[in-house]
Amino acid sequence: MAMDFETPLRSLLSPLGLNLYDVELERGTLNVVVNKEGGVDLESLTKANRVISEWLDENDPIPGRFTLDVSSPGLERRLRSPEHFASALGEVVTLRETREGEATRRLEGTLLEASDTTVSIHDEQLGRVVVPLSSIERARTVFRWGGEAKPSPSRAKTSSSTSKKG
């Protein structure tokens, strides 16, 4: 399905003071991600949901049943477009890069540059790495609490010890 949701959604969200961050129709769910300067509150999400629902009911652009999910990008936001990467310059990002004939590699570091075709990050192990956008399988910003990245499930400690006095 090649329906352009971006144009009508941008015009619906603009009067609410919201920007369209991302939109994707996936497995029967229309995911609409909105943002605004200073962050998105629950009231803004509720208004956006109502306005988009009414537009969808009137225009019926999606055949069959589907679910509408309106959310904010969150602390760790997905990066899919050149604009997403440009908005994350200077932030720590993690990405999976697919490479022809080689294993997929995971990179994590500060996003240094972003163009329409490539991103450049300073990976902690490899230094400066330039990655074509077309080979990025998945990317997101990394939220660091108090300067430490939260452990990802694959990096989480597998054992812990506790002592009880009894």
Segment 22-63, tens digit of pLDDT: 888 888 889 899 988 878 889 999 999 999 999 999 988 888
| 3-state secondary structure (DSSP) of residue 82 | helix
CATH annotation of 82-144: 2.30.30.520
6-71 and 82-144, same CATH topology: no
Q: Could you read off the pLDDT of 77-109 as tens digits, one per residue?
A: 889 889 889 888 898 999 999 988 888 899 999
Q: Could you read off the pLDDT of 130-164 as tens digits, one per residue?
A: 999 999 999 998 987 765 544 444 444 333 333 34
Domain locations in the chain? 6-71, 82-144
Residue 9: name the closest of 43, 59, 82, 74 by CA: 59
CATH annotation of 6-71: 3.30.300.70
| 3-state secondary structure (DSSP) of residue 102 | strand
Q: Quick one: pLDDT at residue 129?
A: 93
User: What is the rounded CA–CA span in Å between residue 110 and residue 123?
Assistant: 7
User: What is the rounded CA–CA span in Å between residue 141 and residue 95?
Assistant: 9
Cβ-based neighbours of 129, under 8 Å, separated by 6 or more: 107, 109, 120, 121, 122, 123
Cβ-based neighbours of 90, under 8 Å, separated by 6 or more: 110, 111
Q: Quick one: pLDDT at residue 3?
A: 66
